[in-house]
Structures are given as structure tokens and as C-alpha cells.
Amino acid sequence: MAKAADIGSKRLISLAPDTWVQWVTQRTEVVAKEILGSEFQWVSRQTDVLLKAYSTTVGHFLVVNELQLRYTANMPLRMRAYAALAQERYQLPTYPVLINILPPASTLSVVSSYEEEFLGLRAMTKIIA
């Protein structure tokens, strides 16, 4: 079951989805087309808001939004995994966005991307935080 804060983030974004996608992408031509389901076959992601957006310069794409109380060290990997699941399901490029409401612990470094290389395969996600 989704927490009240999670439901609140969906409600917040749904109040002005065009304004939201323009703010997070920093592109005034982007418009929100629809709020999509964020639950996948084997992973329930009720804490996220997935928007289908459109830009005259890049076409249709997904804005993968995650609002969290605090940043944690596993966030970059989590965002990469979720962005990949969304891209596979909807066959659209993804733009992952992580919003942290409270500052992280002083001992934790916030990163803006996740990169991994294993046996010659490379995965990377840039996170707008």
C-alpha cells in the first residue's frame, strides 16, 4: 500500500503536470500527455509518478519521477533500474528525476549519475536531482 506522502506526490504532480514537466526538464516546450501506471509485472513501484511527455524537439518520452524524503546511497541504482523498466514497457526514452525533500546526512555524497561496467557491458543513468 502506498504511503500518504507517496499519494500526495501523485496528487501534487497531477495538479499541474505541464508545469511540472517543464520545471524538471527546464524546457518550456514540453507538455505532459498523461500519467501512466508505474507498476510493473514483477516490481510494484507505487511511490513513483510516471508521465508521458511530448516535446517538439525530441518527440514523446517518459519523465520518471521519484519523490523521496531523504537521499540514500542506493538511489542511483534504483533510478537506473526503474528508468530501464519504464523504457522497456512503454518503448520510449526516459528522463529520470529524483526529488529529495530533506537534505542528506552530512556523511553521504549525492551523485548525479550511476555508471556500471561488467564484462564489457556498460550502463549509465544521469539523474536530475
The full set of domains in the chain, from first to last, is 4-126 (3.40.1350)
Which positions ≥6 away from 72 have C-beta within 8 Å? 108
Q: Using 50, 70 and 90 to split pLDDT, how confident is the model at 93?
A: very high
| Cα(84)–Cα(88) distance, integer angstroms | 6
0.85 surpassed by pTM: no
In this prediction, residue 2 has a pLDDT band, given cuts at 50, 70 and 90, of very low
Q: What is the pLDDT of residue 47?
A: 54
